[in-house]
Chain A
Amino acid sequence: MEFAELIKTPRVDGVVLHRPFMPTVEGTLCLTGHHLILSSRQDNTEELWLLHANIDSIEKRFIGSLGTIIVKCKDLRVIQLDIPGMEECLNIASSIEALSTLDSVSLMYPFFYRPLFEVIEDGWQLFVPEEAFKDLESMTDEWRLSEVNKDFSVCPSYPSLLTVPKDIDDESLCKAASFRHGGRFPVLSYYHKKNGMVMMRAAQPLTGTNGRRCKEDEKLINATLCAGKRGYIIDTRTVAVAQQAKARGGGFEQEANYPQWRRIHKAVERSNVLQESLIKLVEACNDQSHSMDRWLSKLEASNWQSNVKEILTTACLAAQCIDREGASVLVHGTEGTDSTLQVTSLAQIILDPACRTIRGFEVLIEREWLQAGHPFQQRCAQSAYSNGKPRSEAPVFLLFLDCVWQILRQFPCSFQFNENFLIMLFEHAYASQFGTFLGNSVAERLKLLLSQKTVSLWSWVNRPQELERFLNPLYEPNNLVIWPSVAPQSLLLWEGVFLRWNRSSKCLDEANQEMVHIIEYNKELQNKVNSLRRQLAQLETEDGPLQTP
């Protein structure tokens, strides 16, 4: 298919762009296969380059022959384009609509994007399971790397290599897989070096209404327990929801069959509910006319902050079982691809200082989200302005990032990255020139040949000149477990994302610059003083001690 067919009018002159808190720009609007571009053709004025993939929905209005298109983006920005001429406006609108809703993945921009920078370190090689396993082997010999899923037939949403207890053979794994939703049998998610406890994740067991059991599944998870020790199963669903799941063939681990495990139910919302929550929240944030009462009641009604609190609480619980109770943990919800991953990845941020570095966080996303089979493409197909009936869109990843931001805010010195890093990840998960978040699983990504045909986000981010923007000047490596407060008053609205386009960030940016300035000045002084001290010491050894009268 040629993009030219979809572009009815490639350019219009005299278009006026309105953006909140920015001066209006008049210029020429151009449509290309992947971008909407507005250029004033004047020096020094900022141009607008918008990926069609970033457009969530559009609205058109007419006053006489002047048409207006409101463009609502997945990064929550809303811009307005005034286009002279009704026909041009209609053409532009329908072109944008067609181009922003392309069905075929292979037509997406990452397949066309050619980087203007040299790829020094290939981001597709950021996480290599074999190497991660070597690290694990240096700490414990109780695990092995299984190739049982090498052709993705046992579990289509899992990667080809999985870490499982050493004593469980591939045949048992297959049987356990047939007992778990989507074949997602329990695998290792995290090994806590401090006490050797582990966190595993899976999908719900398929007990059904007649209480099916699977000896291999029981054996598999029992193999992770020390003799005489009990473990915890954290089911991210409420008891009621888990009960209902039985009717559809799902269910939960019966005490009788898993006597060594204590099951705890939490109430992390399912993905379809989250989408509704996001839409309500963004609607509340975008209405500047709200009175205080209305704003607070809409914020409350959106339930977004409740979701943040529930997810963080569940992650803290998992971390607590491992670190404080000295017990191993199995986490699952229904499919094991959404709430499960929120909980396991956040628990690791709490427990493992490595996850709070830039590299470590990238690896965490690669390992616990991309490889673990979070369906990014489905979940991020639409954002808060989608007007169609939601299919499988849900801000699962955005909620995870929000929770990370909450911890970052409470421990501003314990993360190597800053808020901008999290916002950047949010943007790229929804629309990007990089291939990292395309596809829904490792299998799909291999089929799309992403690592050959597209550039990895990490190849770009990890270049020193880019990284600089994402570094937290206050970072002091901290080897401790960090316990965030989950009290409602400790959890704030993530303004950097939700109010980003509704207020000027100038003063807050200045504050950040000031912070960087203070710390850099300190480093500069330290270097100067150190070099002086060195020289002084050198002088003293060369000349003998200086005489002081």
Chain B
Amino acid sequence: MEHIRTPKVENVHMIDRLTPRKSTAGTLYLSSTHTIFVENSEARKETWVLHSLVYNVERLPTNPSGSPLLIRCKNFHVYRLLIPQEKDCLDVLASLTRLSRPECYGELFCFSFNPNLDKELREKAWGFIDLKAEFSRMGIPSNLWHVTAANHEYRLCETYPSELFVPKSAFPAVIVGSAKFRSRGRLPVLSYFHRDTSASICRSSQPLSGFSARSADDEQMLHAIMKSNPVSELMYVVDTRPKLNAMANRATGKGYENEDHYTNIKLQFVGIENIHVMRSSQQKLVDVGELPAPSMSDFLWGLENSGWLKHIKAVLDAGVFIAKAVAEDGVSVLVHCSDGWDRTAQACSLASVLLDPYYRTIKGLMVLIEKDWVSFGHKFSHRYAHLDGDPKEVSPVMDQFLECVWQLMQQFPCAFEFNERFLIQLHTHIYSCQYGNFIGNCQKERRDLRLQERTHSLWPHLWENRAEYTNPLYRTDHSQTQGVLKPLTTAYCFKFWKGMYGHADKSVASHQSPADCLNAVREESQQLEEELSAHQEVPRETDAGQETCPTEGEENFRGEEEDQQAV
């Protein structure tokens, strides 16, 4: 509370950018967690903005009607306020600037957020996603893959989960040796096992190969992975970086696998740019959305200039390459980038979405994010600026993954159980710090923060509200739901994601949503089904339903029958 200089400002106006005349007057409140705007109108409509979702606050020059304040959010919402007194505006600015940049984990909203769950329920909620169960769904452990205790207490790799799945044929010494030869100890381990072909997707960081270094253990580790797919004599190593970047890394003693040193590997670069390029690309895209009254050319030129869709295509192309190798060629793939926690997570998880229908369900996507992102040490708190820190660590890595899934939904409208709203909700919570799931940068950090005792889990909350996130066109027995997705990745298949980036303006919002209409229809159908089955529980009604004009005698007879039943 010590950061709030002014808890309440009256006569503030919320301004609609496109139609400034349509501003609404109200009172602005600052709480320790939210900025709240309450309209003066009869309805007392409230707008709540979470401090942790605030990206930045900007004050525009004071004009005769007051001091304008711009609040830009991490979910791309923009609020325009007009505050009558300059002093109040400065106070709000200073308060919000400080409140939106927590300096330590303890200040985060998740530690004060209390949805009134008792201790037992909270613990149960944290068990909602069970990664062991997920591996066993894939058929792991098996006669070729098993869990290793090598990373117990995170002694091998701080940023990996404590339980790792590796080939049975890889001896402990090989595991340790391989970890030593990989950047930050992130050795090759199993991410996804494809039952139909026995091919696997493994992940790691880059090898410490420099210009000539090699490690017999690492070479054996890759060989063991290849051998864990008995039918294949080959294995792909997908380096998700542009080749030039990978080569540059050799000068610092890192780099990529030398094909001559490893038996039967095929190296493939897929050219996803680094986090800095992505950060500036997204900023340019957001700027396009903020252009005042852009022409079509402004918009298309801005879209091109941002490079955003080009990057989205690169990420999806990586996923498509891996999925094809696994499903069509039956070849195992090791995926890495530099550290193996950004591009690697994107590529592995997208390939999994393409390969496995389970990850296209609501629960499945949660499991996938928990596995490929949370447990494998994607640096959520750094990437999504949970704390006031190094701006160079911030990058929309997860945003891109979610967008790739959205682009897939455009091509395969019946293939996903969830809808766009689910993706947007996930995006918001990755930034919001309201739940504990995405706090910290790796499993160890989360354990040390005792998040499971001190915060709540997002997943059960989303699951309870799944009706809101369901795609009406999804049917488990639909052909699109089954098997491997093979999307087209021609440039023209990629669209600007209006639902994510286009809501800086209310007037641009969709007028009618077919999905909402269909959901309403489906809900009604369900009620009708219930009503029908209620009628049909009485045998008389089953028959009567098929007859148009029953004779009087029968009618009476049946009437009696029903009376008896009712008693």
Q: Is chain B a partner of chain A in the same complex?
A: yes
Q: How many residues of B contact A (CB 8 A)?
A: 66
Given A487-B505, A510-B480, does the pair A288, B528 have CB atoms closer than 8 Å? no
Decide yes or no whether A126 CB sits under 8 A from chain B.
no
A306 adjacent to B532 (CB under 8 Å): no
B300 adjacent to A487 (CB under 8 Å): no
Decide yes or no whether B479 CB sits under 8 A from chain A.
yes
B309 adjacent to A292 (CB under 8 Å): yes
Decide yes or no whether A295 CB sits under 8 A from chain B.
yes
Report the minimum CB–CB distance from A76 to chain B (whole Å): 14
Determine which of B304, B473, B544 lies in contact with A293 in the assembled complex, contact meaning CB atoms within 8 Å: B304
**What is the bound-complex CA distance between A285 and B491, given in angstroms?**
10
Q: Which residues of A contact B299 (CB under 8 A)?
A: 488-489
Decide yes or no whether A522 CB sits under 8 A from chain B.
yes
B304 adjacent to A511 (CB under 8 Å): no
Q: Which residues of B contact A508 (CB under 8 A)?
A: 413
Interface segment, B125-133, B236-244, B289-297, B331-339?
B289-297
Interface segment, B321-329, B361-369, B509-517?
B509-517
**What is the bound-complex CA distance between A474 and B513, given in angstroms?**
10
Q: Mark A500-516, 1 if CB is under 8 A from B, else 0.
A: 00111001101100110
Determine which of A293, A295, A503, A548 lies in contact with B566 in the assembled complex, contact meaning CB atoms within 8 Å: A548
Report the minimum CB–CB distance from A155 to chain B (whole Å): 35
Decide yes or no whether A424 CB sits under 8 A from chain B.
no
**For residues 244 through 269 of chain B, which have their beta carbon under 8 Å from a beta carbon of chain A?**
none
Which of chain A's residues has its CB closest to B548's CB?
A: A531
Report the minimum CB–CB distance from B474 to chain A (whole Å): 9
Q: Which of B310, B480, B528 has the most CB of A within 10 A?
A: B528
Decide yes or no whether A273 CB sits under 8 A from chain B.
no
B555 adjacent to A539 (CB under 8 Å): yes
Q: Which residues of A contact B482 (CB under 8 A)?
A: none
**For residues 519 through 567 of chain B, which have their beta carbon under 8 Å from a beta carbon of chain A?**
521-522, 524-525, 528-529, 531-532, 535, 541, 544-545, 555-556, 559, 562-563, 566-567
Q: Which residues of A contact B307 (CB under 8 A)?
A: 292-293
Decide yes or no whether A543 CB sits under 8 A from chain B.
yes
Q: Mark B478-505, 1 if CB is under 8 A from A, else 0.
A: 1110000000101111111010011001
Given A487-B508, A488-B294, does the pair A285, B502 have CB atoms closer than 8 Å? no
Q: Which residues of B contact A484 (CB under 8 A)?
A: 511
B310 adjacent to A510 (CB under 8 Å): no
Q: Which residues of B contact A237 (CB under 8 A)?
A: none
Report the minimum CB–CB distance from B517 to chain A (whole Å): 5
**What is the bound-complex CA distance between A295 and B532, given in angstroms?**
53
Report the minimum CB–CB distance from B40 to chain A (whole Å): 26
Report the minimum CB–CB distance from A402 to chain B (whole Å): 13
Report the minimum CB–CB distance from B297 to chain A (whole Å): 6
Q: Which residues of A contact B473 (CB under 8 A)?
A: 511, 514-515, 518
Q: Which residues of A contact B414 (CB under 8 A)?
A: 507, 510-511, 514
Decide yes or no whether A247 CB sits under 8 A from chain B.
no
Given A292-B310, A488-B300, does the pair A529, B532 have CB atoms closer than 8 Å? yes
Determine which of A296, A492, A522 lies in contact with B304 in the assembled complex, contact meaning CB atoms within 8 Å: A296
Determine which of B298, B304, B498, B531 lies in contact with A529 in the assembled complex, contact meaning CB atoms within 8 Å: B531
Decide yes or no whether B203 CB sits under 8 A from chain A.
no
**For residues 479 through 536 of chain A, which have their beta carbon under 8 Å from a beta carbon of chain B?**
482, 484-485, 487-493, 499, 502-504, 507-508, 510-511, 514-515, 518-519, 521-522, 525-526, 528-529, 531-532, 535-536
B535 adjacent to A547 (CB under 8 Å): no
Q: Which residues of A contact B296 (CB under 8 A)?
A: 300, 303, 305-306, 308-309, 488, 491
**For residues 377 through 434 of chain A, which have their beta carbon under 8 Å from a beta carbon of chain B?**
410-414
B528 adjacent to A547 (CB under 8 Å): no
Decide yes or no whether B301 CB sits under 8 A from chain A.
yes
**What is the bound-complex CA distance between A39 and B225, given in angstroms?**
52
Given A292-B310, A518-B525, A522-B524, does the pair A546, B532 have CB atoms closer than 8 Å? no
Report the minimum CB–CB distance from B537 to chain A (whole Å): 12
Report the minimum CB–CB distance from B162 to chain A (whole Å): 41
Determine which of A413, A526, A532 lies in contact with B541 in the assembled complex, contact meaning CB atoms within 8 Å: A532
**What is the bound-complex CA distance between A531 and B545, given in angstroms?**
7
B413 adjacent to A474 (CB under 8 Å): no
Report the minimum CB–CB distance from A529 to chain B (whole Å): 5
Q: Which residues of B contact A525 (CB under 8 A)?
A: 525, 528-529, 532
B413 adjacent to A511 (CB under 8 Å): yes
Which of chain B's residues has its CB closest to A472's CB?
A: B514
Decide yes or no whether B303 CB sits under 8 A from chain A.
yes
Decide yes or no whether A299 CB sits under 8 A from chain B.
yes
A296 adjacent to B532 (CB under 8 Å): no
Report the minimum CB–CB distance from A29 to chain B (whole Å): 30
Which of chain B's residues has its CB closest to A297's CB?
A: B304
Q: Which residues of A contact B505 (CB under 8 A)?
A: 487
Decide yes or no whether A290 CB sits under 8 A from chain B.
yes
**What is the bound-complex CA distance between A536 and B535, given in angstroms?**
10
Decide yes or no whether B313 CB sits under 8 A from chain A.
yes
A519 adjacent to B521 (CB under 8 Å): yes
Decide yes or no whether A64 CB sits under 8 A from chain B.
no
Report the minimum CB–CB distance from B433 to chain A (whole Å): 29
Decide yes or no whether A542 CB sits under 8 A from chain B.
yes
Given A293-B310, A514-B473, does the pair A529, B528 have CB atoms closer than 8 Å? yes
Determine which of B297, B475, B511, B541 lies in contact with A300 in the assembled complex, contact meaning CB atoms within 8 Å: B297
Decide yes or no whether A549 CB sits under 8 A from chain B.
yes
**What is the bound-complex CA distance between A504 and B478, given in angstroms?**
18
Report the minimum CB–CB distance from B377 to chain A (whole Å): 30
**What is the bound-complex CA distance between A536 and B414, given in angstroms?**
39
Decide yes or no whether A42 CB sits under 8 A from chain B.
no
Report the minimum CB–CB distance from A156 to chain B (whole Å): 36
**What is the bound-complex CA distance between A487 and B504, given in angstroms?**
12
Decide yes or no whether B412 CB sits under 8 A from chain A.
yes
Determine which of A297, A299, A410, A532 lies in contact with B532 in the assembled complex, contact meaning CB atoms within 8 Å: A532
Q: Which residues of B contact A539 (CB under 8 A)?
A: 555, 559
**What is the bound-complex CA distance between A387 and B496, given in angstroms?**
33
B508 adjacent to A485 (CB under 8 Å): yes
**For residues 65 through 121 of chain B, which have their beta carbon under 8 Å from a beta carbon of chain A?**
none
Report the minimum CB–CB distance from A515 to chain B (whole Å): 6
**What is the bound-complex CA distance between A134 and B249, given in angstroms?**
81
Report the minimum CB–CB distance from A413 to chain B (whole Å): 5
**What is the bound-complex CA distance between A529 and B479, given in angstroms?**
31
B514 adjacent to A412 (CB under 8 Å): yes
A490 adjacent to B300 (CB under 8 Å): no
**What is the bound-complex CA distance between A492 and B498, given in angstroms?**
11
**What is the bound-complex CA distance between A535 and B540, given in angstroms?**
11
A292 adjacent to B494 (CB under 8 Å): yes
Q: Which residues of B contact A531 (CB under 8 A)?
A: 545
A522 adjacent to B545 (CB under 8 Å): no
Given A411-B511, A503-B490, A549-B566, does the pair A528, B479 have CB atoms closer than 8 Å? no
Decide yes or no whether A138 CB sits under 8 A from chain B.
no
Q: Which residues of B contact A44 (CB under 8 A)?
A: none
B309 adjacent to A518 (CB under 8 Å): no
Which of chain B's residues has its CB closest to A519's CB?
A: B521
Which of chain A's residues has its CB closest to B560's CB?
A: A543
B309 adjacent to A306 (CB under 8 Å): no
A518 adjacent to B472 (CB under 8 Å): yes
Which of chain B's residues has its CB closest to A511's CB?
A: B413
**What is the bound-complex CA distance between A415 and B413, given in angstroms?**
21
Decide yes or no whether A465 CB sits under 8 A from chain B.
no
Determine which of A295, A411, A489, A535 lies in contact with B498 in the assembled complex, contact meaning CB atoms within 8 Å: A489
Decide yes or no whether A210 CB sits under 8 A from chain B.
no
Q: List 9 A-B contacts (CB under 8 A).
A: A290-B492, A292-B494, A305-B300, A413-B514, A485-B507, A488-B296, A511-B414, A522-B528, A539-B555
Q: Can you list the 6 inter-chain pairs with the closest CB atoms, starting with the nearest?
A: A488-B299, A295-B491, A511-B413, A296-B304, A300-B300, A292-B310
Other A-B pairs, 6, CB within 8 Å; known A484-B511, A539-B555? A292-B310, A296-B303, A297-B300, A510-B413, A510-B414, A546-B559
Taking Cβ atoms with an 8 Å cutoff, the residues of A that contact B are 285, 288, 290-297, 299-300, 303, 305-306, 308-309, 410-414, 474, 482, 484-485, 487-493, 499, 502-504, 507-508, 510-511, 514-515, 518-519, 521-522, 525-526, 528-529, 531-532, 535-536, 539, 542-543, 546-549
